[in-house]
């Protein structure tokens, strides 16, 4: 029997109405209370579906089991999706379902300047005839990653209703704070209890990815010298001016807005402070560790020049490892990728892979010993008010998961 698309749609519309934006400035996990609201709703729904071994941990990891229906020994796999959405756009969507999309421009009513058209929006032409879901123009839709959440829940419902489908034990994991690179930081792998996993956090239909950026964070802190501006000559050291000088010196050809494909970047996220002290937050991204090291060296050289230009300032630069390219581990055992490709083919799709210019929770899980490729959900224009997803593409993702469960049982 096919996936129940009506149920899938109802779930998605229910989830995107909850504001689950994460907050990098928060020290707790989950970083925001809205994430708890969605996690507790999912917990209730899992009980209603008849899932087993349901637990919501103190750090906001919701785990559950779909029991095996075959006596054969099959590795336990997990399906993962994150409940948070990115800041700063509002995250409580008023979703609009454009039934049987006819190819004409979609004008989002709360902000008519926000439009989607087949001429300017990649992949929208392929969704003609589909039920396309958008927000209303001033918020995120939240398809990243509530499309993944709905797909996992819809597939779990189907498997629990149809125990005649042969598969091994499947673990479900809904986690917080992926958008602030802390998605799996506090997950106990023993509680996850899976040998392999998949994140449902990809875009284009048929996409199966096993390569991501490697990522570091960097923070520059500048302590200047305060003085009354009227008598500041040869006394004041203005931290904001030094921060501005540093930002102006960043290589423009290594910025997100000027790179694509396999090129990495240095991206300043935030600059705050006063004349006395300033702080610049940055992220560094590259597919290769040598490239990431080169980005670090660039920043260190710029800081050395800044110190030489103004030795009275106290300047510190710190780096923090965030995640690493999952390819380094997955290329040693491509079974989870190959099985996903086979499942896509059984769904009638042509699977393809491309490097993700970002990271997934699978980056962390793979590095920690649970190989975790990333699978498509059909979401597009993410992190913007123009975000959209096709219900039919979500249903195909769920259908692929059904085949994936069976492929693992067969192989």
Q: Is 110 helix (H, G, I), strand (E, B) or coil?
A: coil
- Please give the Cα distance from 110 to 127 (Å, whole number): 23
The bridge status of strand 214-223 relative to strand 277-286 is: antiparallel
Q: Is 90 helix (H, G, I), strand (E, B) or coil?
A: coil
Selected catalytic residue, list 145, 177, 178, 179: 178
- Residue 342 tokens read as 């086979």
Number of Cβ atoms within 10 Å of the Cβ of 122: 11
- Non-local (6+) Cβ contacts of 361 within 8 A are 80, 82, 175, 178, 183, 184, 199, 201, 372
Number of Cβ atoms within 10 Å of the Cβ of 345: 15
- Please give the Cα distance from 361 to 137 (Å, whole number): 28
286 counts as catalytic = no
Selected catalytic residue, list 84, 211, 361, 387: 84
- Residue 325 tokens read as 């390219």
Signed CA dihedral, 58, 83, 85, 109: sign only: negative
84 counts as catalytic = yes
Number of Cβ atoms within 10 Å of the Cβ of 288: 15
Nearest to 409 by CA among 342, 330, 326, 334: 342
Whose structure tokens read 């792998």?
A: 189
Beta strands in 25-184 (DSSP E): 52-56, 62-66, 77-82, 96-98, 106-107, 115-116, 132-134, 170-175
Q: Is 364 helix (H, G, I), strand (E, B) or coil?
A: helix
Strands lying side by side in the sheet with 314-323: 265-273, 277-286, 214-223, 314-323
- Non-local (6+) Cβ contacts of 167 within 8 A are 66, 68, 69, 70, 74, 159, 405, 406, 408, 409
DSSP element (H, E) containing 245: helix 239-249
Catalytic site positions:
84, 178
């Amino acid at each position: 029997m096919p996936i129940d698309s009506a149920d899938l749609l109802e779930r998605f519309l229910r989830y995107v109405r909850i504001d689950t934006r994460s907050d990098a400035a928060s020290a707790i996990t989950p970083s925001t209370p809205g994430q708890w609201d969605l996690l507790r709703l999912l917990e209730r729904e899992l009980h209603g579906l008849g899932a087993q071994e349901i637990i919501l941990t103190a750090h906001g990891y919701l785990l559950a089991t779909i029991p095996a229906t075959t006596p054969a020994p099959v590795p336990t796999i997990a399906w993962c999706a994150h409940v948070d959405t990115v800041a700063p756009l509002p995250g409580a969507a008023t979703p609009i379902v454009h039934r049987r999309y006819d190819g004409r421009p979609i004008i989002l009513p709360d902000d008519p300047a926000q439009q989607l058209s087949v001429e300017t929006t990649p992949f929208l032409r392929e969704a003609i005839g589909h039920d396309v879901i958008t927000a209303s123009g001033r918020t995120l839709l939240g398809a990243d990653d509530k499309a993944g959440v709905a797909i996992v829940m819809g597939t779990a419902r189907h498997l629990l209703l149809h125990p005649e489908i042969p598969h091994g034990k499947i673990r479900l994991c809904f986690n917080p704070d992926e958008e602030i690179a802390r998605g799996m930081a506090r997950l106990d792998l023993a509680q996850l209890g899976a040998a392999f996993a998949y994140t449902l956090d990809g875009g284009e239909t048929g996409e199966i990815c096993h390569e991501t950026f490697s990522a570091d964070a960097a923070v520059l802190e500048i302590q200047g010298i305060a003085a009354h501006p009227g008598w500041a000559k040869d006394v004041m050291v203005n931290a904001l001016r030094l921060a501005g000088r540093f930002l102006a010196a960043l290589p423009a050809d290594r910025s997100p807005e000027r790179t694509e494909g396999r090129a990495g970047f240095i991206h300043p996220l935030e600059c705050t402070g006063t004349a006395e002290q300033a702080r610049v937050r940055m992220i560094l991204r590259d597919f290769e560790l040598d490239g990431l090291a080169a980005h670090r060296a660039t920043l260190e050289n710029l800081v050395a020049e800044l110190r030489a230009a103004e030795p009275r300032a106290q300047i510190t630069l710190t780096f923090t490892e965030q995640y690493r390219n999952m390819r380094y581990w997955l290329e040693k055992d491509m079974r989870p990728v190959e099985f996903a490709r086979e499942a896509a083919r059984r769904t009638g799709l042509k699977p393809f892979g491309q490097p993700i210019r970002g990271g997934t929770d699978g980056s962390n899980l793979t590095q920690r010993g649970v190989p975790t490729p990333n699978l498509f959900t059909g979401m597009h224009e993410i992190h913007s008010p123009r975000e959209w997803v096709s219900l039919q593409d979500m249903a195909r993702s769920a259908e692929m998961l059904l085949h994936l469960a069976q492929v693992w049982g067969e192989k």
